[in-house]
A and B are shown apart, each in its own frame.
Chain A
């Protein structure tokens, strides 16, 4: 995938992105609140656990009179020092129970937060899928497919990880740091301060470090991309490599690109090595401060053993989550960038019809689905340019009565396909009007005009499904019977071919199945269009990959069909257009000539020139000349 890697954002994302994050998770806010509540309770239970042994050390083992209030309360809760000494299982049970409660809270939090994240991911996947497939063609032209796929897959994954991981982790780290503060302060304020002196240093160190590493991630991505490009290029041209016997030469090239990637990756590892070891040192420094200072207080009698035990246990409980905090914040930055990229697409305008009241759904064929009436199509002074580009169509006017055939011929790039695409409302004309059955096209829902048209594009797409499913892809009602299917495939001269496949009509085609040739795909697509029983049949150079014989056969059987829609043929070969009721010769976006085969052959111009070639070829004299030349 050649999608440009998204740059790591080095500045905090704008507030708008945070708003998008809130909007994406709106339906799950209450769940996240519950998860946060569970985290809060869980942290409290977790910090209560070491209170039990510290109370035992102070009251039960140590000198009861010197014990802190907290220790005395804990022991009182357990039934008093004497009882506890008799039945030591009591503090153990309390400790176990608190640990189980803490674990339960973690379970609730994990389950709810991850569940909410999954739901958000699923909803976003569906929304993105639907949004992208409903984007106007002009938008799809603009955004590369690789980019869109990346947004739909890895950006959604990053967003999911943010909701499932980073966001809860950040909250957890903060809670883990804040909750023990009052308990610590109550036990010994000097120790409490000593317990957190390293925290700010660590936060700053981590954040600065991860930012500084940003460029190195960039280098790794670039070298990886160029190595991938190297492999792709080599494999695409493997025939050339082999033909020229250049394996060794290619090997040397690859060792360079692969080596550069290895070095960039190793460099990152080295940076990580210093980062993790240094931040470990910071964490340990915090522990050493607590242990050392506590030991000193302990030896001069100003600190009880229980409190000492509590501090050294608690420091190791919050220092590691805090160490991750800086990293989580930096990674959330990346996640927010992904959210912003998703939002860009979700903000794109879909193809939009007029609202239901202004829509005129009363197309002739609408009431009688099986109507054999073709569409009556009128183009009146239609002009069009792709956004910002030069004019592609200029002043196109024609009337195509129901059931008649229009042929468009002319040089490639002249605008023939564009006429068809305007009719299907892939694009909107800049000026002029198009009407179908007397109704302005803009007042007809896109789905209506498209579902009543059978369209075969030059490079038709088949879904990775069975042939039968592909052929029925455009049929609304599931009632299309095998007879209609086979008559369509017979007309498109593909029935026999399909029967020759191992699984017949059940053969899976496309990426996961059988690869059809270009001509076979075109023929399947023609059959697919015919199965729709369309009121308009559009063949946009749809026979380009079909050999001459088959083309003739298909055109003949199309003419022989009973159901006779209006037809538009975009053709590169004259043979396909001779029978058309109206032929338009399109040159540079304008109608250069119009007429029928009979009139156009008599008129000097492109059509006549083309026709002369045909006749010249069939002329035996010319061949004789060639032979004797």
Chain B
């Protein structure tokens, strides 16, 4: 069990500042997912924690020790990579034991750890094979095993499942979760796949432009995204945004669409007391809308374009003014293209953002 602390971390490649003044505290035993689009700095952050690149400023603490200038091997970490990074000329067993041999761990101790790890990951029959003789899933198991034999408390995962096909990915994802429950070690996991993030994480750090936008539980991220970027990035299909102006003067709060139509926001929990007349963006998830009135909800007027059948359900695509909107509907619901319909939602579930800053209101 070890906690990881990143303090005021800055990383630059030449003039390009990839990370600036970044802080992250991971408690012992926690599963943290760093989620973000490519180029957001999530892998850089992971590599900095691993000690694989030079940082420009800040400190990194692992297990109460300042390891900022320690070698990777001395940080008490294990790491798993996207391309597996197995040493091609060694057997699976050679891969597992390389680090231990480098560290001159006694032979019987190595054997004991390999035995235990192979047991845990069910890779015993693979130990004698070369990486080229293993399937993608088997390779990644061996790669995970290589991190496990190090007997460390912090594991770093750099998009470990991205190179696998969809079915294997789901399988290994479940297994990783079980592994975490069993080992109770600290895990930091980089991915751009939100399903992985939502299913695996105790907390998700959504990153963008080298900055952690929001660090919260998956539920919180999904329900109360802190800004427009997080709202748009998490969720599929992504959250609908409708632009308008905030009206607070006459009774209940509402958002006024460019067409003049007012959508009531009664029940929405404002983070701060906003002012009247502020340009704002209303965010509603496709699955939070219904095509029939619920109790006390508000309605968005939609012009229907087309219906996308997705199997278990369908997506209705339409317009609210100039904004494109999608609504999750039943697989058998039918709507004519070109007709005007109303989609109902509960304002308490919706999100409201400042039009300029994108911050949650």
Do A and B come together as binding partners?
no
